Structure 1
């Protein structure tokens, strides 16, 4: 009996367990998945928690219920990967593997910036990339009387690059509905030279910032958070005042990658961008936020990666050449507030463009255009996530590789 070991039971790991179990001979392959956490979070929902759009129960479930019964599930901390020995050290046992899938994700690292996780953490300095941070921010916003709201990104890459922009747009909508938008000054601060990583998308989104009276500060490389004076300060000594700071800290791969000596400076695993095989170990594959591939760290990307990775693992097992197929495909709804959203579809080579999705001409969704249909699509994704994505069920009419149909390229 051979052993396939999956590290991490988040989005990517759970999808891979569901993809592979029906395809691998149960008499030949034992599949084991390891994760120290009992709860599985719908992380895109963290964006909606602060604004009372989603409740706690809508963004979390018991993770084990999504793992196939034929997969061995171990809820323990992963201490170290020993790739030269084909072993993984858990907190109290050692597992051997013939094939390893690393799906350990990424986490925020507020300690990387001086003062960020200081005395005001979750008091007037918040994140919304964690369940705890999003809940604390929700409680703050319910009673906040207004002032200078700064939405800030520390550095790239981050999970879901559009989420900070969405937060700024939803904040505009939220305070407008509360009748206090005139009491809130919103500033969006980014280390990039524009509002978004992709230039065409940045051009399309910049008008929304102006339209919603959201100030834009670009090229801001934060050096520290001044908790005494409520300022963020960059390396050029530029200062931005805040009454409420909503920051996206540095995103890093799991600490187990650092302990194992397998990552780059941010603990992301060097991965072939098209096959998703580790660049250093042939029998190790990497998926989702754990990789260093130049694709967005988003659930849709993990979903598309999982389809290619499943095929490549079957090819690898049968000693056949791998498909250099994954193209960095990402498909993201961008909430713009007031029950509207944009949709973008892009990959490694192609920036977001206008058009229709998923069908040429018909759509029904518009690319790079605000609409209520896109907003409904964003909200519908939560159901798709729990009932299709995690279970390894393909989303109809959405291919793993980006289609050019309907796009104005």
Structure 2
């Protein structure tokens, strides 16, 4: 018997467990998944929790129910990966051997990396919404907040779901309008990027929306520290942005396990081949989702596309075949813009978001790079798709793992 071990039972790990349980012969392979946490979170839902659009029960479930019965599930902290020895050491001392390893340990926020951020005002006047605890605390704050200067801030890239901070700013605009207090709230969007997003065409559209919604934009802001006593953030050239309520996306880093095991870069992300998902240093170790250093968005849709391609490459690896260099960085993201509307962007390593239709060329029904209620409905429907299809490894009809050029107007890219 041979052993395939998956580290992490989040989105990527759970998908891979489901894909492989139906593909690997049980008589030849033992599949094991390891994660210290019992709860599985629908992380895209954290965006909606602060605005009382979703309830806490809608964004979390018992993770074990999504792990196939054919897969051995170990709920324990992982102490160390020993890639030279093909072993995993668990916190309680057990050592497991593997023939193939899939690292799906994700990413987490590190507010302690910025001076003054993780201090006495954390979850009081300084909040994140990238964790369940942070989103819930921010919800409680927004229920009673009387207004003032709201700053939505990104510390540095890369971050999980790059569009989420923009979505938060748009939803805040809509939220305060519905409460009849938008005139009491000054919203500023602060980013280290030169524009609202990482892709020029999308940045153009998103910048227009920020202006339309009277959301100020501060670009090229590389934070040096948070002055929580005087309520302002300060960058390295002493530019200051004042706030009454700071909603920040702290530095995102890979799991400490990767650092302990000596397998990551400066951010604890694993160097990974961007097309095969095989790690650069160990041929029998693969990485997926937010754990990688790929120049692709750290988003659920990306992990979904990666999982379909990685499953085939795992099978090819077992058979001694050459791996397919097939993953193209495909990302497909809804951007909630408030007031019951959303944008949809579809892009990859080489193509930036452009206008067009999705998933059917010329038909849609979803429009790319344009606000619509249909896109909003797609965004809200994704929660059902996530729990019932995506993490169960079920292919989403008409959506290919690689980006299709059909229905897109690439001639509009300048």
1:15 has 2:15 as partner: yes
1:65 has 2:61 as partner: no
Q: Specify the alignment match of 2:253 in structure 1.
A: 252
Equivalents in 1 of 2:407, 2:91: separation in Å? 51
What is the Cα deviation at residue 192 of structure 1?
A: 0.2
1:10-409 alignment runs, 5 A limit:
10-92=10-92, 93-409=94-410
What is the Cα deviation at residue 162 of structure 1?
A: 0.2
Equivalents in 1 of 2:361, 2:302: separation in Å? 22
What is the Cα deviation at residue 334 of structure 1?
A: 0.1
What is the Cα deviation at residue 225 of structure 1?
A: 0.3
What is the Cα deviation at residue 91 of structure 1?
A: 0.7
The secondary structure found in structure 1 opposite 2:5 is strand
The secondary structure found in structure 2 opposite 1:233 is strand
Equivalents in 2 of 1:6, 1:324: separation in Å? 22
Equivalents in 2 of 1:243, 1:192: separation in Å? 23
The secondary structure found in structure 1 opposite 2:122 is coil
The secondary structure found in structure 2 opposite 1:19 is helix
Equivalents in 2 of 1:316, 1:360: separation in Å? 35
Equivalents in 1 of 2:395, 2:109: separation in Å? 30
Equivalents in 2 of 1:84, 1:206: separation in Å? 48
Equivalents in 2 of 1:110, 1:80: separation in Å? 24
What is the Cα deviation at residue 214 of structure 1?
A: 0.1
Per-residue CA shift, 1:225-262, capped at 9, x if unaligned? 00110000000011100000000000000000000000
The secondary structure found in structure 1 opposite 2:303 is helix
What is the Cα deviation at residue 7 of structure 1?
A: 0.1
Equivalents in 1 of 2:98, 2:293: separation in Å? 23
What is the Cα deviation at residue 187 of structure 1?
A: 0.1
Equivalents in 2 of 1:221, 1:345: separation in Å? 28
The secondary structure found in structure 2 opposite 1:327 is coil
Equivalents in 2 of 1:303, 1:365: separation in Å? 19
Equivalents in 2 of 1:385, 1:94: separation in Å? 33
Unaligned 5+ residue runs, structure 1? none
What is the Cα deviation at residue 43 of structure 1?
A: 0.1
Query: How many corresponding residue pairs?
Result: 409
Per-residue CA shift, 1:364-403, capped at 9, x if unaligned? 0000000000000000000000000011000000000000
The secondary structure found in structure 2 opposite 1:271 is coil
What is the Cα deviation at residue 22 of structure 1?
A: 0.9
Q: Specify the alignment match of 1:2 in structure 2.
A: 2
What is the Cα deviation at residue 186 of structure 1?
A: 0.1
Per-residue CA shift, 1:84-125, capped at 9, x if unaligned? 000011111111100000000000000110000011000000
What is the Cα deviation at residue 83 of structure 1?
A: 0.2
What is the Cα deviation at residue 163 of structure 1?
A: 0.1
Per-residue CA shift, 1:324-358, capped at 9, x if unaligned? 00000000000000000000000000000000000
What is the Cα deviation at residue 306 of structure 1?
A: 0.2
The secondary structure found in structure 1 opposite 2:36 is coil
The secondary structure found in structure 1 opposite 2:375 is helix
What is the Cα deviation at residue 25 of structure 1?
A: 0.7
The secondary structure found in structure 2 opposite 1:167 is helix
Normalization by structure 2: what TM-score?
A: 0.99
Equivalents in 2 of 1:63, 1:223: separation in Å? 38
